[in-house]
Amino acid sequence: MSGKEGIPGIPVQLPKMGCGEKPSEEIIQLGRFMKHQKNWRNDTKLAVKVFPDTGRGLISRRAIEKDSEIIDLPFDALISLKSISDDGEFMQLLEEVSGEMKWKVQTLLTLYLLWNWHVGDKSPWKDYLRSLPTTLTHPHFCSVDELVAIPVISERIIDSVNQSEVREVQKYFEHTLCPCCGGKFFPDIFPKRKFIEFYLICNSRTVYVPPDTVRMMLRGTRVLGMISNDPNMALAPFLDLFNHSGDTKTMCSLARKGTTYFYTLKTSSSFRRGEQIFINYGPHCNMKLLIEYGFFLPGNYNEFIEVSLKDIEDLVKNLRRSQKNLHIPSNKFRYIRDHNLHEKMFLDADGFSHNLSIVLHFLLIDGNIYENHYHPVVFGQLPDEQSLREYKKHLINLLLERYRDSLVNLQHVERLTESGMIVRDFLKCRIAFMSDCLNKY
């Protein structure tokens, strides 16, 4: 989870281990590192365990009560903008390269991970880096054939890593030689694939930290002048082993206790001794989970299907084939955009969102053609359900068809990658969800 929304993120990939197997040596070492070098007390007696359905996760050796702390990490155990600022060698490199450039905090964290990965045994964070999954499954790593097959998601996949940012970073680091080995950063030391992997790790594993507190800690440092957005994200070693569930609520805080700042998570749920503890990364639909974290949840009750204005335009095109007299003044589309009605258009298990119903009614049923008549139509009473029913079915069918096409195309690709298999199951899951919606309406 990116720092955008407030709750922590997690495993991009389940490790290849059977149920009941012990956590890997790397994870055990990470626990030791957190205790002995980062002064983590582990008051809640957390331990790593491997589960058949989620892979590795965390339990407590004692019962966790409702509304109590599940983890309390010293802030210096997190990889944040402060860690970057405190690392003299990396800061020197960054200053040489940056000039007037201002970086996004996620890009800086990505570069910092790359740097630590490069220096290997000399990295103060080597134990954390070793604990990360060695290969990522994420739709971003689908093969070209797979990506071509699945237009319903490939556009979103490309958006998940900002390509112009990758180029920007390459440009700045291209002619810089590494102070430790004299190698060229791009493409030799920081290969593009590795950059994207670490970028996605930041996407999925960072937690939200209150940016004002971080700014306050960093008052007067050079690094504050080198960022272009809020320092609201940090990587949280060990904490990022919690898996996600929509059944619980998680609250985070960053507060001073004595002389040290602590990053704390509290849970709204109770957990028995030895039971897997889950946290909630946020009420995400499966598309968002897939794109940000590389997994999705069958039966996700936060599931909804986003509808864009382009989808509505396609629906209108389809309808015109059978309704030759369907005429929609073009200023209605402009009116929709001007009044942001195209935002928050979606359908979920309960039906169509308010804006989606309004837009369908406004375009397909309402006969007004003068702009000064639009306001009461759009901001007045909700349209009659019955009159929209057929159009709603049309729209769901249109979306269903796209998902089915993508699924069929994907099934024709020879030998799916692991990422491709996750996407295939995601498509099946969404098709089942929309089919259910169609039956219900």
Q: Which residues in this chain contact Zn ion in the complex, by CB under 5 A?
A: 178, 180-181
Q: Pick the closer one to Zn ion by CB: 28 or 180.
A: 180
CB atoms within 10 A of CB 36: 9
CB of 139 to Zn ion, least distance (A): 32
- Asked whether the beta carbons of 326 and 316 are under 8 A apart, the reply is yes
Supply the minimum distance, in Å, between the C-beta of residue 172 and Zn ion.
Answer: 17
Stretch (H or E) spanning 398: helix 385-411
Spell out a b/e string for 206-224, using b for 16 or more CB atoms within 10 Å of the CB, else e.
bbbbbbebbbebbeebebe
Considering the complex, what minimum distance in angstroms separates the CB of residue 130 from Zn ion? 19
Q: Is 281 left (phi over 0), alpha (psi -120 to 50) or beta?
A: alpha
Answer yes or no: are the C-beta atoms of 130 and 29 closer than 8 Å.
Answer: yes
Q: Smallest distance, Å, CB 179 to Zn ion? A: 7
The radius of gyration of the chain's CA atoms, rounded to the nearest angstrom, is: 25
CB of residue 165 to Zn ion, shortest distance in Å: 23
Residue type, 211: P
Edge-first strand order for the sheet with 351-352 is 304-306, 346-348, 351-352
In terms of CB distance, is 180 or 431 closer to Zn ion?
180
Identify which of residues 181 and 365 has a Cβ nearer to Zn ion in the complex. 181
Nearer to Zn ion, 28 or 178 (CB): 178
Q: Taking a C-beta distance cutoff of 8 angstroms, is the pair 27, 48 a contact?
A: yes
CB of 12 to Zn ion, least distance (A): 26
Nearer to Zn ion, 178 or 431 (CB): 178
| Number of CB atoms found within 10 A of residue 169's CB | 23
Smallest gap from Cβ 166 to Zn ion, in A, equals 21
User: Measured between alpha carbons, how far apart are the two ends of the chain, in Å?
Assistant: 33
How many helical (H) and strand (E) elements, i.e. helices and strands, does the chain have? Answer: 17, 12
| Residue with Cβ nearer Zn ion (181 or 432) | 181
CB of 396 to Zn ion, least distance (A): 54
Q: Smallest distance, Å, CB 185 to Zn ion?
A: 9
Give 178 or 309: the residue with its C-beta nearer to Zn ion.
Answer: 178
Q: Which is nearer to Zn ion, 119 or 328 (CB)?
A: 119
Cβ within 8 Å of residue 1, ≥6 positions away: 7, 8, 9, 10, 203, 204, 205, 206, 207, 208, 281, 282, 292, 293
Specify the residue, 53 or 121, whose C-beta has the smaller distance to Zn ion: 121
Decide: residue 401, CB within 10 A, 0-12 exposed, 13-18 middle, 19+ buried. Answer: exposed
